[in-house]
């Protein structure tokens, strides 16, 4: 029970940090808005048109997107790690993230703006390839697949370099210049995918004992693998459509969650999601604050949050690899 | 003690193989209810493969495994898991998982996935921990246990499944002499008190002779000898199955046969 209690406390503290992050995001920016003005906008009592646009169209959606995409990436990380049986796996290292990014980049270049559909097609394609190629060693297959898909993306960018700056934000991951429209595309997924992921916890717990043991317990391993991978891929694709292929959130958040609450996926899924949410929105606050005085900070060209998560996540990856090798 | 009239588990003309190699050839075997059967044989003889096929973890290439008279592969996986539990040789401990959390997984076939979402450890888990002497370690991470303690965790998990049939793949391998004896006594007790049917792969022939009702000796995927220990543990069978020249004596404690290599 102590682990359950700890998980509940962790989710609650993450929630309060999230509230703090929302407040910070609403107050920090180049246009000076006082706390009073922000509260007036949020309670619908403001007649200051510019303040309403800044808060409701830009600042609030941006922080909500960060929280939501972070939660989905972390969750996807937990699911992918269960499928490939490797704690180093995450959307970015299994080809799923590269697939989604490739989908978005290709669609952008062809002039389609159906970002979600493009990310889903790319990620599901990569997930299918992972299932087909990765029977023996899915973790290795994922890394190779990710490299190949990233190379294809790079090739596309060489062939046509015109949309580079808008495309870069999908590749690195950025919440710059996201608006209310992006949030309204994300929230329906956010309302459903975490529940789906949590319902899969018993299967993932059984798999963790090894394939023979899972079969022996009556878990239909083949079908459940596909189901879990599909949920993981959809979550990653949606998060990437919202925030770009942010690396390391899907690695760091589950890793910290595992250290704190152990390996029971019933706790791991919600705790990872909560940590991923504050990790991405927090990193975005750093990215935004660092880049605020740089030219184009309001623009897509500002400091991308993916750069911050990469700096934060790289040491964790090094630590994990060293632990694996020991 | 319930005694089903049909043989609980039966292999008919069973063939099992991997991509490039056939391991089990046209094998017939009936496991009698309420008995302890030991599968013995040299390395590579197919005894673990046979056990995995009986547990439907491996799909036969030929023939059929029947559980309660119907092919095991045509039954629902969860339904099979309510009748039969497997202790695999290479079970993995999820990092950070405690003894109770692992043993609790044995309840999956009874409660189903949705049940596993909301419930905590129940009486069956506590009973399994008690039978394997793990009460004091219940909250310890499995990763911190010794090999022998870990082995008892897997056995407890199989017991938590509350099945009539237990298939054990080399259950005594990592155990010291004391715990080997404890485990074999537990197996006999489960047969006597709960009428369980146990099939186990053993390496130690004297252990098999001492505790099993029946020994099935395999070599190259075929059964070379099958019967009570006194019929199987003979110099002739030991020579044919293991290529050893052995002297068979009578164990002064149990009056069962035991062998000494010459």
What is the average pLDDT across A150-156? 86
Do A215 and B88 lie within an 8 Å CB cutoff? no
**Which residues from B are below 8 Å from A212, CB to CB?**
52, 57, 86, 88, 90-91
Query: What single string gives the DSSP state of each residue in A224-253?
Result: HHHHHHHHHHHHHHHHHHHH----SHHHHH
Do A218 and B77 lie within an 8 Å CB cutoff? yes
Report the pLDDT value the prediction gives residue A293, as an integer from 0 to 100: 64
Question: Nearest CA of chain A to the CA of B243: how many Å?
Answer: 32
Mean pLDDT of chain A: 86
Confidence band for B213, pLDDT divided at 50, 70 and 90: very high
For residues A196 and A204, what is the distance between their CA atoms, to the nearest angstrom?
Answer: 13
Q: Which residue has the tokens 């935004």?
A: A288
Least CB-CB distance to A219: which of B56, B101, B108?
A: B108
What is the average pLDDT across A180-206? 93
Looking at per-residue pLDDT, the higher value among A128 and B3 belongs to A128
**Which residues from A are below 8 Å from B85, CB to CB?**
216
Q: What is the pLDDT of residues A176-190, one digit of tens each?
A: 878 888 898 899 999
Report the pLDDT value the prediction gives residue A297, as an integer from 0 to 100: 46
List the single residue in B with minimal CA-CA distance to A205: B105
- Cβ neighbours for B111, distance < 8 A, ≥ 6 positions apart: B119
Confidence band for B6, pLDDT divided at 50, 70 and 90: low
Tokens of B3: 């005694």
Residue B117 has pLDDT above 90, yes or no: no
- H or E stretch covering B223: strand B222-227
Domain that holds residue B156: 9-261
Tokens of A307: 């750069």
Confidence band for B256, pLDDT divided at 50, 70 and 90: very high
List the single residue in B with minimal CA-CA distance to A201: B117
**What 8-state DSSP symbol labels residue A55?**
I
- Cβ neighbours for A5, distance < 8 A, ≥ 6 positions apart: none
Kindly report which listed range (A100-104, A130-134, B211-215, B216-220) carries the lowest average pLDDT score: A130-134
For residues B108 and B260, what is the distance between their CA atoms, to the nearest angstrom?
Answer: 44
Report the pLDDT value the prediction gives residue B19, as an integer from 0 to 100: 81
Question: Nearest CA of chain B to the CA of A319: how many Å?
Answer: 16
Count how many pairs of residues, chain A against chain B, have C-beta atoms within 8 Å.
88
Interface test with B, best of A87, A194, A217 (most B CBs within 10 A): A217
Q: Is A199 on the interface with B (CB under 8 A)?
A: yes
Tokens of B69: 């008279």
How large a percentage of chain A has pLDDT more than 70? 94
Residue B254 has pLDDT above 70, yes or no: yes
Interface test with A, best of B54, B83, B104, B108 (most A CBs within 10 A): B108
Q: What is the pLDDT of residues A267-278, one digit of tens each?
A: 999 999 999 999
* Domain ranges across chain A: 2-325
Q: What is the pLDDT of residues A41-92, one digit of tens each?
A: 888 887 778 888 888 888 899 999 999 999 999 999 999 999 888 888 888 7
What is the average pLDDT across A14-29? 91
Do B96 and A205 lie within an 8 Å CB cutoff? no
ipTM of the complex: 0.83
Q: Is A201 on the interface with B (CB under 8 A)?
A: yes
**Which residues from A are below 8 Å from B113, CB to CB?**
199, 202-203
Cβ atoms A246, A306 nearer than 8 A: yes
Cβ atoms A166, A300 nearer than 8 A: yes
Question: Nearest CA of chain A to the CA of B150: how many Å?
Answer: 13
List the single residue in A with minimal CA-CA distance to B153: A209
Q: What is the pLDDT of residues A290-304, one digit of tens each?
A: 876 665 545 555 788
Do B108 and A216 lie within an 8 Å CB cutoff? no
Q: How many domains does chain B have?
A: 1
Do A216 and B88 lie within an 8 Å CB cutoff? yes
Tokens of A19: 């509230």
CATH topology of domain A2-325: ABC transporter involved in vitamin B12 uptake, BtuC (1.10.3470)
What's the CATH code of the domain at B118?
3.40.50.300
Looking at per-residue pLDDT, the higher value among B213 and A111 belongs to B213
Residue B78 has pLDDT above 80, yes or no: yes
């Amino acid at each position: 029970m102590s682990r359950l209690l700890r998980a509940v406390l962790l989710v609650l503290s993450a929630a309060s940090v999230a509230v703090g992050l929302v407040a910070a995001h609403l107050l920090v920016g180049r246009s000076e808005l006082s706390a009073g003005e922000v509260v007036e906008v949020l309670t619908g009592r403001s007649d200051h048109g510019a303040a309403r646009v800044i808060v409701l169209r830009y600042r609030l959606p941006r922080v909500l997107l960060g929280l939501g995409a972070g939660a989905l990436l972390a969750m996807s990380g937990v699911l992918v790690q269960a499928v490939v049986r490797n704690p180093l796996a995450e959307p970015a290292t299994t080809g799923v993230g590269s697939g989604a990014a490739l989908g978005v980049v290709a669609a952008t270049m062809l002039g389609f703006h159906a970002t979600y559909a493009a990310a889903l097609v790319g990620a599901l394609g990569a997930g299918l390839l992972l299932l087909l190629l990765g029977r023996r060693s899915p973790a290795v297959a994922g890394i190779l697949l990710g490299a190949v898909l990233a190379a294809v993306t790079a090739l596309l960018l060489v062939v046509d370099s015109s949309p580079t700056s808008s495309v870069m934000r999908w590749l690195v991951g950025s919440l710059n210049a996201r608006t209310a429209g992006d949030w309204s595309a994300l929230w329906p997924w956010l309302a459903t995918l975490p529940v789906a992921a949590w319902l899969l916890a018993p299967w993932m717990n059984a798999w963790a004992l090894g394939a023979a043991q899972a079969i022996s317990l009556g878990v239909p391993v083949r079908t459940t693998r596909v189901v879990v991978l599909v949920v993981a891929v959809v979550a990653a694709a949606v998060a990437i459509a919202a925030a770009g292929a942010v690396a390391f959130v899907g690695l760091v958040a589950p890793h910290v969650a595992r250290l704190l609450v152990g390996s029971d996926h019933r706790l791991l899924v919600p705790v990872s999601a909560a940590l991923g949410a504050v990790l991405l929105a927090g990193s975005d606050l750093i990215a935004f604050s660092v880049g605020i005085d740089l030219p184009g900070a309001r623009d897509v060209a500002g400091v991308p949050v993916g750069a911050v998560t990469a700096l934060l996540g790289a040491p964790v990856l090094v630590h994990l690899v060293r632990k694996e090798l020991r | 003690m319930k005694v089903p009239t049909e043989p609980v588990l039966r292999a008919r003309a069973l063939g099992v193989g991997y991509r490039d190699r056939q391991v089990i050839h046209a094998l017939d075997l009936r496991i009698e209810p309420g008995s302890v059967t030991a599968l013995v044989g040299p390395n590579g003889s197919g005894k673990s493969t046979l056990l995995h096929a009986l547990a439907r973890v491996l799909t036969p290439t030929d023939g059929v495994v029947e559980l309660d008279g119907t092919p095991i592969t045509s039954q629902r996986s969860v339904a099979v898991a309510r009748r039969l539990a497997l202790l695999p040789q290479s079970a993995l401990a999820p990092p950070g998982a405690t003894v109770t959390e692992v043993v609790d997984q044995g309840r999956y076939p009874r409660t189903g996935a949705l049940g596993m979402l909301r419930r905590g450890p129940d009486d069956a888990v506590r009973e399994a921990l008690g039978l394997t002497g793990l009460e004091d370690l219940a909250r310890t991470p499995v990763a911190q246990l010794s090999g022998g303690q870990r082995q008892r965790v897997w056995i407890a998990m199989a017991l938590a499944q509350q099945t009539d049939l237990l298939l054990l793949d080399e259950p005594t391998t990592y155990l010291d002499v004391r715990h080997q004896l404890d485990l074999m006594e537990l197996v006999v007790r489960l047969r006597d008190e709960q009428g369980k049917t146990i099939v186990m792969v053993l390496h130690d022939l004297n252990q098999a002779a001492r505790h099993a009702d029946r020994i099935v000796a395999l070599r190259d995927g075929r059964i070379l000898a099958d019967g009570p220990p006194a019929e199987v543990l003979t110099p002739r069978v030991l020579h044919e199955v293991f290529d050893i020249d052995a002297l068979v004596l009578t164990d002064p404690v149990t009056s069962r046969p035991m062998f000494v290599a010459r």
